Amino acid sequence: MAPPVFAAKDLTKTYASGDVEVRALRGVNFEVGAGEVVVLLGPSGSGKSTFLNIVGGIDTATSGDLRFKDIDLTKLRERDLTRYRRESVGFVFQFYNLVPSLTALENVALVTEISTNPMRPQDALAMIGLENRMHHFPAELSGGEQQRVAIARAIAKRPEVLLCDEPTGALDSKTGVLVIEALLKVSAELSTTTLIITHNATIQDVADRVFFFADGNISRIQRNATRRRAADLVW
């Protein structure tokens, strides 16, 4: 078997706010293989976002080991973490986080400008079916369209991993399906390793594996024998 893209050992994260300690992650162990699609499920506050942020290099673990291929992410300095995010990670967030003063095309170009082997921004938008809305500003797009721009922006650099934190959280179910569909389509085309946080249990059917979070740990891992197509999902 190919070496895993991510491998974590006893990953912990403790927030010390005032005299209260919040142990957001309590020794998480997992491996994710190349091209795998993983869905993260779990109750609110169980540590999913914390986990994803650490994996994505925008937060740091308190203790434990986290490898990305043969790089130890827990040992990277700020500068190298930035490079890791820049070169290898695509993010999609619940609130899109598009730059309001830039058009769809420019929002994508923002990222392609700084990466080494990007697609053309137009092509990235075409992949998610927004080639007709390239010159619109975020405020001129619906939530679902904005989220698709965010996906185009995330994948335009051909990242090795795609990390999505509740990408459908702010969308209605129909739009959510479209977004998930777009997401899976590009990740399949680029064989990107993809991690998706969601509160929508039906989405788990599209994954290779499902991680169930509880109390700052992965309580259970479920492997799906077959993956459903997003279009077949019913909410």
Ligand X SMILES: Nc1ncnc2c1ncn2[C@@H]1O[C@H](COP(=O)(O)OP(=O)(O)OP(=O)(O)O)[C@@H](O)[C@H]1O
Binding site for ligand X (CB under 6 A): 15, 17, 22, 24, 42, 44-50
Contacted by 214, from other proteins, ligand X, Mg ion, none: CB < 5 to 8 Å by type = none
- Binding-site member from 49, 107, 112, 192 for Mg ion (CB under 5 A): 49
Smallest separation, CB 210 to Mg ion (Å) = 16
Nearer to ligand X, 15 or 235 (CB): 15
Binding track over 121-160 against Mg ion, x by CB under 5 A: ----------------------------------------
* SS3 at position 20: strand
Tokens coding 51: 């986990």
Q: What is the 3-state secondary structure (H, E, C) of 44-56?
A: CCCCHHHHHHHHC
Answer yes or no whether residue 114 interacts with other proteins by CB under 8 A: yes
C-beta nearest to Mg ion: residue: 49
Question: What DSSP character marks residue 208?
Answer: S
Q: DSSP class of residue 40?
A: E
Which of 53, 9, 41, 45 shows the shortest CA–CA distance to 27? 9
Residue 46 contact among ligand X, other proteins, Mg ion, none, beta carbon within 5 to 8 Å by kind: ligand X
List, in sequence order, the alpha helices (H) in 31-142. Answer: 48-55, 78-88, 104-112, 121-127
**Residue 229 lies near other proteins (rule: CB under 8 A):** no
